Amino acid sequence: MPFVFGDHALDCDRRELSRRGVPVAVAPQVFDLLVYLIRNRERVVSKDDLIEAVWGGRIVSDSALTTRINAARAIIGDSGAEQRLIRTVHRRGFRFVGEVREMDQVPLAVREGWRPAIEAAGLVVPDTARPFIADKPSVAVLAFTNMSGSPEREFVAEGIAEDIITALSRCPWLLVIGRNSSFAYKGRAVDLKQVGRQLGARYVLDTETGAHIWANRYDRDFADIFAVQDEITDSVTIAIAPAVDEAERRRAMRQPTENIDAWTAFQRGIWHLHKFNPNDNARAQTFFQQAIDLDPTFAAAYCGLAWAHTQAATVLQTSSLTEAQNSAEALARRAIALDPAGAEGHSTLGFVLWLRGDSEGAVAEARQALAISPNLAFAHAVLGAALIFSGQPQDGIVAFQTAIRLDPHQSMLPSRLMHMAIGFYFCREYEAAVGVAKQAIRSNPDYPLTYRWLAAALGQIGQTAEAKETLAKAIAVAPASFDLYVRNRAPWIRPEDHAHMIEGLRKAGWDG
């Protein structure tokens, strides 16, 4: 029977882990380990228990077991430092300590499918037709309600809301209503649409009437309250920012072209960019350029145009890689010049440097972006790509798992899952690479680059018939990519990694 914990669902029969209904890539052994821990959550399981259940009693090193435990923690948003869900019991073993419900205990509305991201983030959309709603996306965070029954702990509820306001204020594209204005409604029964109109905010976060962002129990000493406060703040902020971004994109697509402004043009460009086909990529470039023409200081629009140029060369092969590298780097550096503290600009430059084969520079820019905005999914993805293709695939996989956790939306999922599959392939965990590559293809069958890696992984595990069929599909859907990635070697792929890929493709039947 499927299990639910927090915003994750674990379906044992289908061997799927999902977060808010979005599939999460997980290696087979890590999946088995997680299932065993959850099924035996009432007790501490020993190392021998895990080896018998997951590895069939084969000899397994402590480091291999630790790697799988850390991977299991990472994919469910836990860590060895926090141990909120998987706890290490010194000298005894491990125990799953998170609150778990079996599927028949979950409300019907949840079983039938997760609500849209905007509702899942507790956001209510007011009437945006009012002329004094801000032109850029704007959010108001109302004061939280103290439900502890202790007036002395009122500061905790207010502190969490204040921290969320501060964290969201770091998003340069988001207007956050100040504390004094949004806290004026504290203790009052309010109509959220009316609040949105009065504050000039498109979105209102309210814990009393909105849908739940997460489900968790915090059973700690009051001395740890500030750690709990930080944890809640991170959980809410991670959920809100992508939800607002997605809602804005949908809103932009409803706007008539003749009334378009710079922000709307940018959002429409993003929408077309994530379609991953030549016509939409061309449309994306048009909208990003329009955003720049409307507002030459709009740094994000330069980043968007850089992304479109690189996609045209690397995914679609409709333009020269060298030309795309040069134009994208110039656009990324222009974005940084306009906004030196903008994490998106540094992430974009890191991505372009990675395309040039400068993994060290890419890692440096990605880390600078994460120092500015630790929850920026794109920065984690750039870091992951640079690590995977520079001989550190395990660390790269973890970075992509983080990127997917921070932004599980479908648009970038096929690319991020594909890179995780490449990471598993480079680790020679071919079965895991096959599983994740198939997830990527299911998330978007039109994304063309994954088929090649799936064919190579299938070839490595001896699935010859399926490997040949997938290889034929890889050549059919993206024939030009074989010149860029197979017959030649892309700048970001090391010679030994390229040879490793060719080895798998030859086993799949490629005779080039």
DSSP codes, 295-312: -TT-HHHHHHHHHHHHHH
pLDDT tens digits along 485-508: 998 899 999 999 999 999 999 999
pTM above 0.85, yes or no: no
Predicted pLDDT of residue 8: 84
The better pLDDT of the pair 173, 324 is held by 324
Residues of the chain with CATH 1.25.40: 257-340, 425-512
Architecture of domain 3-104: Orthogonal Bundle (1.10)
Q: Chain centroid to CA 423: how far?
A: 16
Average pLDDT (453-462) is 97
For 96, the 3-state DSSP assignment is strand
Phi-psi region of 391 (alpha: psi -120 to 50; beta: other; left: phi over 0): left
Average pLDDT (318-337) is 95
pLDDT tens digits along 134-187: 445 667 777 777 666 676 666 566 667 777 776 776 665 566 665 555 666 676
Residues of the chain with CATH 1.10.10.10: 3-104
Predicted pLDDT of residue 483: 78
| pLDDT of residue 224 exceeding 80 | no
User: What percent of the chain clears pLDDT 70, i.e. is strictly above it?
Assistant: 70
Q: Which one is the CATH code of 257-340: 1.25.40, 1.10.10, 2.40.160, 3.90.25?
A: 1.25.40
Predicted pLDDT of residue 406: 74
Residue of 393, 342, 349, 409 lying closest to 496 (CA atoms): 393
Predicted pLDDT of residue 303: 95
The better pLDDT of the pair 512, 463 is held by 463
- Confidence class of residue 317 from pLDDT cuts 50, 70 and 90? confident
**In the structure encoding, which two tokens stand for residue 503, read together?**
């080895």
- Quick one: DSSP state of residue 69? H
| Beta carbons within 8 Å of 334's beta carbon, 6+ residues apart | 299, 302
| DSSP track, 428-493 | T-HHHHHHHHHHHHHH-TT--SHHHHHHHHHHHTT-HHHHHHHHHHHHHH-HHHIIIIIIS--TTS
The average confidence (pLDDT) of the chain is 80
User: Which uninterrupted H or E stretch holds 57?
Assistant: none
In total, the chain counts a number of residues equal to 512
Q: Which one is the CATH code of 425-512: 1.10.10, 1.10.3470, 1.25.40, 3.30.1330?
A: 1.25.40
Strands 138-141 and 175-176: parallel
pLDDT tens digits along 94-103: 999 998 887 6
Residue of 43, 58, 24, 38 lying closest to 93 (CA atoms): 43
The better pLDDT of the pair 59, 464 is held by 464
Sequence letter at residue 253 = M
Q: What is the rounded distance in angstroms from the CA atom of residue 442 to the CA atom of residue 425?
A: 19
